[in-house]
Structure 1
Amino acid sequence: MEYIESRVINASRATIANILADIRRLPEWNPAILSVTAIDPRALVGKPYPIRAKLPGSPTITYEHVSTDSVVWRLDGLQAHETGAWNLVSVGDHKTKVTHAITHSGAIFRVLAGAFRTVPGLRLDRLQRRAEYVHERTRPGDVNDRPEVSG
């Protein structure tokens, strides 16, 4: 199953990409993830991070791509797999169109088909609140305008 939603967020692509790549703070705005075991301040591409999530087993999250254009992760649990993709497109001065798509596979997600229809929108709500709060607290040309992620 795939679910997708888009919206314009009042923040730069770099600000949004930095929030998405901040692996240690992921549980603060993604309530499906209860905790992450990580010492890295930013997610390293290809490195699986153990997480506690609302899934059985010992799930991990692995970032497959991180740039100011897009962020893609894969969450793997027992009979549950999610690919989360975030596409970031500048649409004006400190405005970014963010499209979030999730794709599910595995027995658990098949049983719960349709239950995740609103998840991309809920994640975008939380991301928007966080990004716009960061944007309000920084000046143009501040650190959040210089991407910490490649791309």
Structure 2
Amino acid sequence: MNDLMTATVRIQAPAAAVLDVLLDAERLPDWNPAFLTVAPASPGTPGSHPIRVRGGLAGTYRYTEAGPLRVEATWEVPGLSETNYWSLRAEGGETVVEHGFRHRGMLAAVLRGAFATVARQRVDRLKSQVESG
């Protein structure tokens, strides 16, 4: 397992707007470049979205918590699994967002150095996505 990677950002929008983006799994590829595609959840496995990530690996993305101030999810592809969270705190008209994740698997060990700046990149892209409407 890799260490917990974290980053925090202030977004000029209410928490509900941030939550709308975080809970729209099919839009993940718009702001998270790890995902090439995220398909709708299938009726047989509600909440579990088929995904394709960089390198062409196929797997699943699933929300494990979807509250008004915290979102948790997991995703898995062969050789790599991630658990992540997004914690939201309203401050006036802004939202402070903390993001963290951990990886497991053979690819996690091989790519460990490549993930060093990923949390920062994700929060910055989320900020841009939310603030651009």
TM-score normalised to structure 1 length? 0.79
Alignment of 1:35-114 (within 5 A): 35-38=37-40, 47-54=47-54, 57-92=57-92, 94-114=93-113
Q: Which 5+ residue runs of structure 1 have no aligned equivalent?
A: 41-45, 135-151
How many residue pairs align between the two structures?
Answer: 128
CA distance in 2 between counterparts of 1:113 and 1:129 reads 26
SS in 2 for 1:11: coil
CA displacement at 1:67 relative to structure 2: 1.9
Equivalence for 2:131: 132
CA displacement at 1:82 relative to structure 2: 0.6
CA displacement at 1:39 relative to structure 2: 6.1
Residues 24 and 39, structure 1, Cα contact 8 Å, conserved in 2: no
Q: Percent identity?
A: 33
CA distance in 1 between counterparts of 2:125 and 2:84 reads 15
CA distance in 1 between counterparts of 2:81 and 2:132 reads 31
Task: Kindly provide the amino acid, as one letter, of the partner of residue 82 in structure 1.
Answer: E
- The structure with the largest strand share of the pair is 2
Equivalence for 2:118: 119
CA distance in 1 between counterparts of 2:100 and 2:38 reads 22
Task: Kindly provide the amino acid, as one letter, of the partner of residue 118 in structure 2.
Answer: V
Report runs of 4+ in structure 1 exceeding 3 Å deviation: none
CA displacement at 1:84 relative to structure 2: 1.6
Q: Which 5+ residue runs of structure 2 have no aligned equivalent?
A: none
CA distance in 1 between counterparts of 2:33 and 2:91 reads 28
